[in-house]
């Protein structure tokens, strides 16, 4: 691959330009004609479809049914929930005309679907026997972000799933909220090999109208945090506004408790940022469209023999078990004749293929393989084909584990405590990562920090011994004073710069 086709900047020196180059040169996405929108190319969509498939299986196994609701939301639907209008109105895109005719009522292009799904929940729920009702849709949404858009990480239109559930009791809604957050953790940590921090959003940063919002945060190598998924306990606020009610066992009318939860194509951006290096994308085997690529190296004299053996290697690997034992290994034979082996090596490295197998005349004659790991660049030569096939799954699993452990070590090294405002400012100014500090719960204390170093509270972490009541009230008792104002602290808070 010629130099201009490779990554031309260092990730740690210019992460923004590095990210843009990886997205474009690894064939993940392209820019759309409308500013802030993107075209997701086939390779990028395969990453999203892998995440989608992993999470979809989890929710279907826990009683969720997929459905689809309209893209357009009547203005009066949004107005039924005043908090949602206040929270989303600056980001809502409106349709005012159909053809050349002005519409009698404006239609919102969905920024989220609580206001569309809630009326149908009200229509479909009659009795306690209809509960719990668990719905999910995979769709696109539009939020008219005005600044700093970037493919996958922040775009005006993006793909996501949004789950919406209704329950008989508050406790059931609490359990639902935490179940979906845990499933997000499993997808992010086990499927994408990215460690995370779970907790609440501050009261002023929760979903508009929610009782509380929980979040999964992931720390990127540039020290910024990415919100990789949120799960909201909506209380009875939406249910009251949209009359989502049921008759209980005593034939008395009750109001439902509802939840919503979402994960978006931002996770693809987190995947790129978290694992990529100066050579491009680096993919965990679980999510990689191609887990193993076989590259033949031949000339006209031995072309037929080398290609024949390469096909044999491909078939042998394909019939081995896949990473995670769920499916056959995803293996590709790159037999393109118009590209040199060196070009192919660089291209597959740029696109993050976890394991590259090289087959030349020597490997063909000896019935061996040479392979290179993408995660650490280690090269093994002269490995017997039978031995390689027997161990390829273990190698892929080791790559997965190694990639996770590398980021976990980085995260632990970049969580630093601060006991005063000066320490918060100094730590964020000099170091990357999270600053853990005591916080009184007042937004004004967060604003003092935010105004000076552009960092905010990204998560209020759960305590390991968190009790059900602490989940309900969103507070944990800690000993000490707020690092900013000196008043009694209510929570530990993680400050960070974020995307």
72-115 per-position pLDDT tens digit: 999 998 888 766 656 667 889 999 999 999 999 999 999 999 99
Q: What is the pLDDT of residues 147-178, one digit of tens each?
A: 788 999 999 999 999 999 999 999 999 999 99
Beta-bridged to residue 229, according to DSSP, are 216
CATH code of the domain covering residue 451: 3.30.110.30
Q: What is the strand order of the sheet 93-98 is part of?
A: 72-74, 101-109, 93-98
191 and 129 share one domain: yes
pLDDT value at position 322? Answer: 60
pLDDT value at position 476? Answer: 47
Q: Give the residue from 245, 275, 305 where a domain finishes.
A: 275
| Distance, CA of 436 to CA of 391 (rounded, Å) | 42
The mean-pLDDT minimum among 324-333, 419-428, 474-483 falls in: 474-483
389 and 422 share one domain: no
Averaged pLDDT score across all residues of the chain: 92
pLDDT value at position 85? Answer: 58
In a domain, 46, yes or no: yes
| Distance, CA of 341 to CA of 92 (rounded, Å) | 50
- DSSP element (H, E) containing 397: helix 385-413
In a domain, 409, yes or no: no
Residue-wise over 97-113: b if at least 16 C-beta within 10 A, else e?
eeeeeeeeebbbbbbbb
Mean pLDDT calculated for residue range 252-273: 98
| Distance, CA of 353 to CA of 356 (rounded, Å) | 7
Q: In the numeric block, which tokens belong to residue 483?
A: 């690092």
pLDDT value at position 468? Answer: 37
79 Cβ contact list (under 8 Å, min separation 6) = 85
Burial class (CB in 10 A: 0-12, 13-18, 19+), 197: buried
| Distance, CA of 190 to CA of 197 (rounded, Å) | 14
CATH code of the domain covering residue 85: 3.30.930.10
224 and 321 share one domain: no
pLDDT at 317 over 90: yes
pLDDT value at position 473? Answer: 38
The domain in which residue 245 lies consists of 3-275
| Distance, CA of 93 to CA of 132 (rounded, Å) | 32
Looking at the 3D structure of the chain, how many domains does it have?
3
| Distance, CA of 379 to CA of 171 (rounded, Å) | 53
Spatial contact of 59 and 67, defined as CB atoms under 8 Å apart: no
pLDDT at 489 over 50: yes
In a domain, 410, yes or no: no
436 and 330 share one domain: no
81 and 153 share one domain: yes
Pairing between β-strand 355-359 and β-strand 292-296 as defined by DSSP bridges: parallel
Q: In the numeric block, which tokens belong to residue 492?
A: 């530990």
Mean pLDDT calculated for residue range 229-253: 96
Angle ∠(6,11,16) on CA atoms, nearest 5: 95
28 and 83 share one domain: yes
In a domain, 12, yes or no: yes
pLDDT value at position 429? Answer: 84
331 and 466 share one domain: no
Q: In the numeric block, which tokens belong to residue 277?
A: 């290096």
pLDDT at 2 over 60: no
| Distance, CA of 269 to CA of 49 (rounded, Å) | 14
pLDDT value at position 209? Answer: 86
245 and 376 share one domain: no
12 Cβ contact list (under 8 Å, min separation 6) = 221, 222
In a domain, 408, yes or no: no
- Report the SS3 class of residue 457: strand
Spatial contact of 238 and 480, defined as CB atoms under 8 Å apart: no
| Distance, CA of 229 to CA of 327 (rounded, Å) | 27
- DSSP element (H, E) containing 16: helix 15-25
Spatial contact of 460 and 493, defined as CB atoms under 8 Å apart: yes
109 and 221 share one domain: yes
Please give, one letter per residue, the 3-state secondary structure of 326-357. Answer: CCECCEEECCCCCCCHHHHHHHHHHEECCEEE
90 and 177 share one domain: yes
pLDDT at 357 over 90: yes
85 and 192 share one domain: yes
18 and 149 share one domain: yes
Burial class (CB in 10 A: 0-12, 13-18, 19+), 152: buried
Q: How many CA atoms lie within 13 A of 241 on its CB side?
A: 21
Q: What is the pLDDT of residues 123-141, one digit of tens each?
A: 999 999 999 999 999 999 9
| pLDDT-above-90 percentage for the chain | 87
> Is the model more confident about 4 or about 348?
348
> Is the model more confident about 230 or about 499?
230
In a domain, 309, yes or no: yes
Spatial contact of 388 and 356, defined as CB atoms under 8 Å apart: no
pLDDT value at position 474? Answer: 40
Spatial contact of 227 and 269, defined as CB atoms under 8 Å apart: no
pLDDT value at position 148? Answer: 81
Q: Which of these, 464, 434, 459, 330, lies nearest to 49 by C-alpha position?
A: 330
The mean-pLDDT minimum among 70-84, 364-378, 434-448 falls in: 70-84
Q: Give the residue from 219, 243, 275 where a domain finishes.
A: 275
In a domain, 462, yes or no: yes
Pairing between β-strand 257-264 and β-strand 225-235 as defined by DSSP bridges: antiparallel
CATH code of the domain covering residue 383: 3.40.50.800
- Report the SS3 class of residue 250: coil
Most confident of 48-52, 203-207, 429-433: 48-52
pLDDT at 300 over 50: yes
Q: Give the residue from 402, 428, 457 where a domain finishes.
A: 402
Task: Give the phi and the psi of residue 95 in degrees, each rounded to 5.
Answer: -100, 120
In a domain, 104, yes or no: yes
């Amino acid at each position: 691959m010629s130099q201009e086709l490779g990554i031309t900047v260092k990730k740690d020196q210019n992460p923004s330009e590095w990210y843009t180059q990886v997205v474009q040169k690894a064939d993940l996405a392209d820019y759309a004609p409308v500013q802030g929108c993107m075209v997701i190319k086939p390779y990028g969509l395969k990453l999203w479809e892998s995440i989608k498939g992993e999470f979809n299986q989890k929710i279907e196994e826990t009683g969720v049914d997929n459905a689809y609701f309209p893209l357009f939301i009547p203005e009066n639907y949004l107005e039924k929930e005043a908090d949602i209008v206040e929270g989303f109105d600056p980001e809502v895109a409106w349709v005012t005309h159909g053809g050349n005719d002005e519409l009698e009522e404006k239609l919102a292009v969905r920024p989220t679907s609580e206001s569309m799904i809630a009326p149908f929940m009200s229509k479909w729920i009659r009795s306690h026997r209809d509960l719990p009702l668990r719905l999910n849709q995979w769709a696109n949404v539009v939020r008219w972000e005005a600044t700093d858009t970037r493919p996958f990480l922040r775009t005006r239109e993006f793909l996501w799933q949004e789950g919406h559930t209704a329950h008989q009791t508050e406790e059931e809604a609490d359990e639902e909220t935490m179940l979906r957050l845990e499933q997000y953790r499993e997808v992010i940590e086990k499927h994408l090999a990215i460690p995370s921090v779970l907790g609440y959003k501050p009261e002023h940063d929760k979903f508009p109208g929610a009782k509380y919002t929980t979040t999964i945060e992931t720390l990127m190598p540039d020290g910024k945090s990415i919100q990789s998924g949120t799960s909201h306990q909506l209380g009875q606020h939406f249910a009251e506004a949209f009359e989502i009610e049921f008759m209980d066992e005593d034939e008395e009318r009750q109001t439902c408790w509802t939840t919503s939860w979402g994960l978006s194509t931002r996770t693809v951006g987190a995947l790129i940022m978290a694992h990529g290096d100066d050579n491009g994308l680096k993919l965990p085997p679980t999510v990689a469209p191609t887990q193993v690529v076989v590259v033949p190296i031949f000339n006209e004299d031995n072309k037929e023999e080398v290609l024949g053996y390469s096909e044999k290697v491909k078939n042998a690997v394909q019939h081995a078990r896949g990473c995670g034992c769920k499916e056959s290994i995803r293996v590709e034979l790159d037999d393109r004749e118009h590209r040199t082996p060196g070009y192919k090596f660089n291209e597959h490295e740029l696109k993050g293929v976890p394991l590259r197998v090289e087959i030349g005349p020597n490997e063909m004659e000896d019935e061996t393989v040479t392979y290179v790991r993408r995660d650490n660049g280690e090269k093994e030569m002269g490995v017997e084909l039978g031995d390689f096939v027997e161990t390829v799954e273990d190698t892929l699993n080791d790559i997965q584990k190694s990639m996770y452990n590398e980021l976990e070590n980085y995260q632990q090294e970049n969580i630093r405590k601060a006991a005063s405002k000066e320490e918060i400012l100094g730590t964020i100014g000099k170091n990357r990562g999270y600053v853990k500090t005591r916080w009184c719960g007042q937004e004004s204390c967060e604003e003092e920090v935010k105004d000076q170093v552009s960092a905010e509270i990204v998560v209020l972490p759960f305590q390991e011994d968190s009790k059900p009541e602490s989940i309900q009230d969103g507070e944990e008792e800690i000993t000490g004073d707020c690092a900013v104002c000196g008043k009694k602290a209510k929570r530990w808070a993680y400050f960070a710069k974020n995307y």
